[in-house]
Amino acid sequence: MSASHFIRQLVDDDLRSGRHTQVRTRFPPEPNGHLHIGHAKAICINFGIAAEFSGTTTLRMDDTNPTKEDTSYVDGIARDVAWLGFEWVALTHASDAFDTMYAWAEHLVEHGHAYVCHQTEDEMRATRGTVTVPGTASPWRDRPWAESLTELRAMRDGLRAEGSATLRARIDMAAHNMKLRDPPLYRIRKVDHHRTGDRWCIYPMYDYAHPISDALEGITHSLCTLEFDNNRALYDWVIEHCPVPCRPRQTEYARLNIGFTMMSKRRLLALVEEKHVTGWDDPRMPTLAGFRRRGVRPEAIRAFCERVGVARADNLVDADLLEATIRDDLEPIAPRYLAVVDPVVLEVTNWPDADRPSFSAPLWPDKPEPRRDVPFGRRLLVERSDVRATPEVGFHRLSPRAVVRLRHAFVVTCDAVETDADGRITRVLCTADLASRGAPVKAKGTVHWVAEHAAVAMRARLVERLFTVERPDLEEDFRSVLRPLSLGETTVMGEPALAALPAGSHAQFERVGFFVADAVDSTPGAPVFNRVVALRDNSRPAAAAAERTPATTTPAAPVAPPPPLPPVAAAWVANGATDGDARALAHDATTEARARALVAAGAPARAAAAAAVHVLADVPSPPPNATLVTWLARQADGTLSARAARAVLDHLVAKGGDVDDAIDALGLRQLRDPAAVMPFVADVLGAHPDRVSAYRGGKTGLFGFFVGQVIARSGGRADPAVVADLIKRQLDAS
């Protein structure tokens, strides 16, 4: 997420002000379905922000609703996050903290901040009021706290029927923000939980569990989408009134909305259960599993999220942007092959029928090697959409008297286009210029082809957009706008080399699109191809999709190579500097001289170049070079994050002195010595003997609780890896 945005600025300000010394974010999906591309944006933001500021991210399962959650979803979520290329410091569950959440619920009751209410859901809704009319207090709002505590314990012990009682926060029934009108904190659900079994029959609401989980895990920045904007006041209320170990901050950003794409997990589940799609990994689904099956690479998803950026206001992203990003990602890695979707015979009349050579053709147009052999013969198969008996103005492919080039082969002149009684094209007759292969003979058009005698028939799915309207989420009946035949099952005639591609291999079918050999249905020697994306937007009406005739496409424009490196930049690159930093140094003699001075003082070239370009360029009077070399070394050995390093530099500029003294003065040194971390571990384990016993009794999910407590108790300075190792050693000891 390289572009500047308000979340980056907020985090930067927090670190500069000393509010936090290390960034900790979390990604908290509910395990009631598989992740979709909307979640990918949240993943990229949370993990990306943490990584940029040398922080950590926790993957937390928000498993507070046992009626919809399942272990298979937990596994799928972890698999999707890992596939995107991100690593979490810990995988936790909201249920890890059920004991703490309940204990703090009693704390709220005892302090007069919560009460047990016996109104039904309908009654609570009816007495909530409106934006202009205050709500009506529950008859049980002012019951004695001891009575509410007795009722809460009866709820916990299974003595109250489901729906007969709710724990509610006592806040303000006239609050302008209706989320604060005595919201429910706990409800009765006599359902087994996929992790805790039948231990609990009451479960916390998300708005209560979320801030507590954040606080227990030492989260510094709780990043949410805009629909949680009104929930922030309740988030802060819970943090304020519970004895939490730290105070996270919630910040909202706009969710990802893409044209022709539905993000509702409930509706996606309906598509699966009603068999409108083949499963969560159907290549038409917007799930990450669906994108993976379709052949989209994680690099493309990450690049798309970066292009979309981070904003405060909701907007609709054009689906073309996603498809363009996928094309950009596949262009340099997908080798080219010839394949025909809707074939018609082209006969080269001056080519001997018995002569069937193979032409050597490159797998990439801009690279002479590697190559593959492409069979040629008198009878070829070409795309029906490339032929016209009576061409329209501007049509430059096969039509009577037209001169075109056969890709990788000869220039041919179309002599005749034969049709049947219905006007359907049956054969094309051409004469080849046998001296034109590889020669600069002009032709207005180029067509792809496959030799009929060597063509391999292969299953392919010409995957289309699943919906016919741009905003399917706004349709009352989303089933009515499903695109017929969107999976586009058909047979493709391809060159022999395609049949040898293993499952998962990408290929560009020239002038048709990017494809992947399906990872599930492909078998050795018989790949089944999914179209990842067309070479350009091939959207068309459902009736045209049913004909299986793709729109005419043109090759993607070649990507211009970067300009050559200036000699100064080339020298820096040779010594390890990045291309971008080297180019910047070549264009600024002062900055380049500063980088050279750092190298002369003992700094590695890569670090010196990066510091000179990105940090020191706006520092009029930097510290001495020897001090800067030590400063760079503290970043290299992990003592300082990039943002902490800037704070140290500012300190050195203002007050001078030694780097290590500045680190200690600012309290930025990370605790990595086990001896320094162990007292915090001992304090936390000693303060929670019941949880230690529970962990040793099999509740290993408490591990994340202990790690969060230790990090919080150390003021955020304890290295998470050292903390985890010490806790494991202590808990596993007899």
CA–CA dist 479, 67 (Å, integer): 25
> How many alpha carbons fall within 13 Å on the CB side of residue 558?
7
- The parts of the chain modelled with pLDDT lower than 70 are 1-4, 537-565, 579-581, 584, 587, 614, 617-618, 638, 640-644, 699-705, 708, 711-712, 715-716, 720-721, 734
**Catalytic one of 156, 170, 195, 265:** 265
All domains in the chain, ordered by first residue: 98-204 (3.90.800.10), 336-546 (2.40.240.10), 567-665 (no CATH), 674-732 (1.10.10.410)
- Residue 228, both tokens: 């949680």
What pairing do the DSSP bridges indicate for beta strands 166-169 and 184-188? Answer: antiparallel
- Please indicate whether residue 41 is annotated as part of the active site: no
pTM: 0.72
- Please indicate whether residue 30 is annotated as part of the active site: yes
Provide the sign of the torsion angle of the four alpha carbons 301, 302, 304, 308, taken in this order: positive
CA–CA dist 102, 153 (Å, integer): 10
- Please indicate whether residue 655 is annotated as part of the active site: no
The three-state (H, E, C) secondary structure of 489-548, written as one string: EEEEEECHHHHCCCCCCEEEECCCEEEEECCCCCECCECCEEEEEECCCCCCCHHHHHCC
pLDDT score for 278: 93
Give the H/E segment covering residue 426.
strand 425-433
> Pick from 514, 73, 521: which is nearest to 297 by CA?
514
**Catalytic one of 128, 247, 255, 646:** 255
Cβ distance 656 to 623 under 8 Å? yes
**Catalytic one of 30, 52, 299, 475:** 30
pLDDT score for 555: 38
CA–CA dist 40, 314 (Å, integer): 16
pLDDT score for 580: 60
pLDDT tens across 337-390, in order? Answer: 999 999 999 999 999 999 999 999 999 988 889 999 999 999 999 999 999 999
pLDDT score for 509: 97
In 3-state terms, what secondary structure has residue 26?
strand
